[in-house]
Amino acid sequence: MSTETPNLKLQYLDPSQAQPEVKVNDAWDKLDVVVGTIAVSDTTVSPPIVARAEEIRFTGSGVTVTHETDRVAHVQISGGGGGSGGGSPIDVMDETTEVTAVTAIRFTRGATVSVSSGSVADVYIDPVSGGGGGGYPLDFVQWYPFESGASQATTYDVIFPQTTAASGNTLFMVVAADGSNTFTAPAGWTVDINQAQSLYARFILMHKTAAADTHALLTSAAVVTFAGFFFEVAGAHVLDQSSLGGVAVQQFLALPSITPSPGAAVFGAMAYVSGLGLAYTQANEPPGSPTWKSDYIQANGAVAGRGVLLAEYLHESAGTLITPPLLNFPAWQFYVASGLAYATFSIL
């Protein structure tokens, strides 16, 4: 299991960690540097001058801020006239591309330097790192992995860590339940995905608008175990895109690709049934895939302990095809004939 976050390299706390405040304070310092700032660099000098700022201010008579759309400021620069054209041409460059003789610059999401129309250069700026991809699109208010324990029952009440917002926020749950018995969602919840595989594995995604909620009661037609993740995110969100499936038990899983909407959060998930009442080693992610993180939660039953493996894409979607990494879990043991129910989905 990794000891640090893949993007900012923030150190996870170890249960036996001495002076845990050292890691926590270091993480706060790193977050203070990057959150809400933009990296600005001048590559015309050697070495390049790099600074971080909360605002970029364009000066000169030929600059016009035209409008803002979806948190993107559109800035127009002309060499002399200050209007939409007719100014002296300028060159725009990133690390790999140079666009010459343009008379305006437009800052957009999901693109590096390229010419879009006429003599307008499109430029993409990462609001966190200054390049290479967008930040995370969901603002998590609370996150809670849950499991029903060793005993099987027809119901399990998920108690939230804190009361949800009275309005405005969205609640999501991913749940592993039984594939052969009917699942009933808690009152007020909408089931977005209900994918069963074989007799025993079932993956469920559902959501609800927050209304000062404190719990959610899961119900099955017969006694089962449950496991899953609950999370509350700020603002209104819905299921965007999804691709579902199921396979017989195996020691790896290739989650399907999807093309989410720009700005969406992307997840991959697998519901399974364990053959042992033991915690497993973390599923392996391939080297060179720092943009994904996976975790799992499992009911600790002697047999038929349901579990969910959830993989999370750590950047917002640019509206292009996204393929999750191949997941490997060679040491995991599954209940006979249980199968793996899975989905790749995005939340917008």
pLDDT digits (tens, 9 = 90+) for 102-139: 666 655 444 445 555 555 555 554 443 333 344 678 99
pLDDT for position 26: 75
The model's pLDDT over 38-65, given as tens digits with 9 standing for 90+, comes to: 555 555 555 555 555 555 655 555 556 6
CB contact at 8 A, 194 and 221: no
pLDDT for position 287: 44
Hey, where are the domains in the chain? Answer: 61-132, 140-347
- The answer, yes or no, to whether residue 70 has pLDDT greater than 60, is no
Most confident of 6-15, 71-80, 85-94, 285-294: 6-15
* Beta bridge partners of residue 197, listed in sequence order: 201
Give me the sign of the Cα torsion angle 82, 84, 89, 94.
positive
Q: Give the chain's largest Cα–Cα span.
A: 76
Query: Which residues lie below 8 Å from residue 320, measured CB to CB, with a gap of 6+?
Result: 110, 259
Both tokens of 246, joined, read: 């199921």
- The pLDDT > 70 percentage for the chain reads 62
- The answer, yes or no, to whether residue 325 has pLDDT greater than 80, is yes
CB contact at 8 A, 230 and 171: yes
Residue 156 burial by Cβ neighbours in a 10 Å radius (0-12, 13-18, 19+) = buried
Q: Bigger pLDDT: 198 or 218?
A: 218
Q: Bigger pLDDT: 217 or 199?
A: 217
The model's pLDDT over 269-305, given as tens digits with 9 standing for 90+, comes to: 999 998 765 555 444 444 444 688 888 888 876 667 8
Q: Which long-range contacts (CB under 8 A, 24 or more apart) does 187-195 make?
A: 187/217, 189/216, 192/239, 192/242, 192/345, 193/239, 193/242, 193/244, 193/343, 193/345, 195/244, 195/245, 195/246, 195/271, 195/341, 195/342, 195/343
- The answer, yes or no, to whether residue 82 has pLDDT greater than 60, is no
Q: Which of 39-48, 142-151, 170-179, 338-347 has the lowest mean pLDDT?
A: 39-48
pTM of the model: 0.63
Give me the sign of the Cα torsion angle 19, 21, 25, 27.
positive
Length of the chain: 348
pLDDT for position 3: 74
The residue type found at 261 is S
The model's pLDDT over 23-36, given as tens digits with 9 standing for 90+, comes to: 777 777 767 656 65
Tell me the average pLDDT across 12-23: 72
Tell me the average pLDDT across 55-82: 53
Q: Bigger pLDDT: 213 or 61?
A: 213
